[in-house]
Amino acid sequence: MSRPIVAIVGRPNVGKSTLFNSLAGEKISIVKDYPGVTRDRIYADVTWLNYQFTMIDTGGIEMDTKDIMLSHMRQQAEIAIETADVIMFLVDVKQGLVDADFKVADMLRKSHKPVVLVVNKVDNFEKYMPDVYEFYNLGIGDPYPISASSKIGLGDMLDEVTSHFNKSLATEEEDERPRIAIVGKPNAGKSSIINKLLGEERVIVSDIAGTTRDAIDTAVKWNGKEYVFIDTAGLRRKSRIKEELERYSIVRTVAAVEKADLVLLVIDATEGVTEQDAKIAGIAHERGKGIIICVNKWDLIEKDNKTVAKYTDEIRRILSFMPYAQIMFISAKTGQRLPKVFETIETVIQYQNLRIATGVLNEIVTEAVAMQQPPSDKGKRLKIFYVTQVSVKPPTFVIFVNDKELMHFSYTRYLENRIRDAFGFTGTSLRFITRERKEK
């Protein structure tokens, strides 16, 4: 299921980072064993009661003049409107209202996206409530007072935020067509691929009630089946600030990946795999989505019988955290191997949804354990009682053991490889959860 996206928009210094940290706790961004999106906060997973959502911070640049601030805030708001299911507009009770706040509020109101107005730094409700009421003047509904640093008022605010989820996601869940995000660096050829895949069949997916996001979704029919492509092309927007551009491209990538079942990562063959490609791949991996790496512009490469192997090695080396990813060499220009892309998409979708019966799974695991002894520590050896698959997209397995501490990362990896040998699971990451169970 795709997780709702909540974007925070707000001026510098209103407390966006503080709120981010308070809500996300330790779980901010990125696991360390593959290239992180950035050390800095851009997105985080938040769990609140039974809800899980992805929070993104669309801003974060230092600004010196008022003019730059306004244009920056407009861009933040635009990105939020484009990518988010719910927008949190964060203001500061101590700074009060400024002109830019009204302009941003206007933009948000016109977008028809759910907006929650959050007034921060209300460290003392009694003292500041009269000031909070001032924010009604923005005309975007009730202000929710909070103190991000003392974690006051967060519950009511989150209740309001999550109350908007079901409405926005209901339409999406009914749609059974596979959703494929095409991601990659600017100029890699994302639009060209979509256009070529579409050929004559271009159908723009109809706008669902005022959501800009869907305007860039395109349905393509192949073998009688419809697929929805989510395009992240056109990232070279107005901004001239490099960090800002990078942030926007990450935000849009996160949003597209979040809404997708499967990700096509487009790499420009003439440039090889870049650091930015690795970051984007990291997002898809972390989200547990299916992935296909398309090395595009293959027509421009001078080839001999070692070229494919050379490229493959290079990709495997740099994207070593996703050895399961399919790699394809394509050309949007000539159409080379594009039909094969659909076949591969079908394969990956099947593996993302594959369920292995517990009996068969445990035959494989028992055999694996017999071939390579589980690790031990201080005379105590890891015992694996049994393994069971608990979910799909991505396929997730629970391993029941005698002592969690004894389960070493490398042994999980070994079991993963044996399971892959037996069942394939091409193009999809696998998740493993270790649980302790009392010995009988």
Ligand X SMILES: Nc1nc2c(ncn2[C@@H]2O[C@H](COP(=O)(O)OP(=O)(O)OP(=O)(O)O)[C@@H](O)[C@H]2O)c(=O)[nH]1
Residues annotated within a binding site: 10-17, 57-61, 120-123, 184-191, 231-235, 296-299
| Shorter beta-carbon distance to ligand X: residue 186 or 272 | 186
| Shorter beta-carbon distance to ligand X: residue 106 or 299 | 299
| Shorter beta-carbon distance to ligand X: residue 6 or 399 | 6
Q: Show the CA angle centred on residue 257, arms to residues 254 and 259, nearest 5°.
A: 110
Contact 246, 233 (CB under 8 A): no
CA 51 to chain centre: 16
Q: Which amino acid would we find at residue 80?
A: A
Contact 250, 38 (CB under 8 A): yes
Instruction: Give contact residues for ligand X (rule: CB under 6 A).
Output: 10, 12-18, 59-60, 120-121, 123, 147-149, 184, 186-192, 233-236, 296-297, 299-300, 331-333
Q: Which of 166, 171, 93, 176 is nearest to 135 (CA)?
A: 93
Least Cβ distance, residue 142 to ligand X (angstroms): 19
Instruction: Return d(Cα 161, Cα 301) in angstroms, integer.
Output: 50
Least Cβ distance, residue 26 to ligand X (angstroms): 17
Least Cβ distance, residue 60 to ligand X (angstroms): 5
Least Cβ distance, residue 334 to ligand X (angstroms): 7
Instruction: Return d(Cα 347, Cα 261) in angstroms, integer.
Output: 13
Instruction: Return d(Cα 267, Cα 264) in angstroms, integer.
Output: 9
| Shorter beta-carbon distance to ligand X: residue 62 or 200 | 62
Q: Is 222 helix (H, G, I), strand (E, B) or coil?
A: strand
Instruction: Return d(Cα 262, Cα 265) in angstroms, integer.
Output: 10
CA 116 to chain centre: 22
Q: Is 42 helix (H, G, I), strand (E, B) or coil?
A: coil
Could you identify the residue written with the tokens 């044996």?
A: 418
| Shorter beta-carbon distance to ligand X: residue 148 or 280 | 148
| Shorter beta-carbon distance to ligand X: residue 333 or 420 | 333
Least Cβ distance, residue 125 to ligand X (angstroms): 12
Contact 97, 91 (CB under 8 A): yes
Instruction: Return d(Cα 13, Cα 104) in angstroms, integer.
Output: 16
Which residues belong to the annotated binding site for GTP? Answer: 10-17, 57-61, 120-123, 184-191, 231-235, 296-299
In this structure, is the dihedral angle defined by the CA atoms of residues 354, 359, 365 and 367, taken in order, positive or negative? Answer: negative
Radius of gyration of the chain measured on its C-alpha atoms: 24
Least Cβ distance, residue 338 to ligand X (angstroms): 10
Q: Which of 139, 57, 133, 71 is nearest to 100 (CA)?
A: 71
| Shorter beta-carbon distance to ligand X: residue 296 or 428 | 296
Least Cβ distance, residue 298 to ligand X (angstroms): 7
Q: Is 204 helix (H, G, I), strand (E, B) or coil?
A: strand
Q: Which of 95, 207, 63, 253 is nearest to 74 (CA)?
A: 63
Q: Which of 325, 313, 329 is nearest to 282 (CA)?
A: 325
Least Cβ distance, residue 182 to ligand X (angstroms): 8
The β-bridge partners of 391 are: 396
Least Cβ distance, residue 355 to ligand X (angstroms): 35
For residue 284, with 0-12 CB atoms within 10 Å meaning exposed, 13-18 middle and 19 or more buried, which class applies?
buried
